[in-house]
């Protein structure tokens, strides 16, 4: 997904906004806002994966030790 986001960012920022109609400028602004949201969601997703890995590691350690430490 990161490559797709990067390619989309490059494409969106290469658009000459001075040549756009008002409707096109609004659509571009909406696209940029959606892109920012997608980037944020990807960051959140990655952090959740890390948390999940940590919790799984703790659970495995707890299951394999007799004293639970």
Q: How many domains does the chain have?
A: 1
In a domain, 69, yes or no: no
- The whole domain housing 55 covers 2-12+22-64
Residue pLDDT, tens place only, 30-53: 998 998 898 899 899 999 999 999
Q: Is residue 6 part of a domain?
A: yes
Residue whose structure tokens are 């940590």: 54
- What's the pLDDT band for 66 if we cut at 50, 70, 90? low
Concatenate the DSSP letters of all residues of the chain into one string: -HHHHHHHHHHHHTS-GGGS-HHHHHHHHHHHHHHHHHHHHHHHHHHHHHHHHHHHHHHHHHHH-SS--
């Amino acid at each position: 997904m990161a490559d797709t986001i990067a390619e989309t960012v490059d494409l969106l920022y290469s658009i000459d906004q001075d040549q756009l109609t008002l409707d096109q400028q609004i659509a571009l602004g909406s696209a940029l806002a959606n892109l920012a949201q997608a980037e944020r969601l990807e960051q959140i997703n990655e952090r959740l994966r890390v948390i999940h890995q940590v919790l799984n590691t703790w659970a495995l350690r707890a299951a394999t030790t007799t004293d639970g430490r």
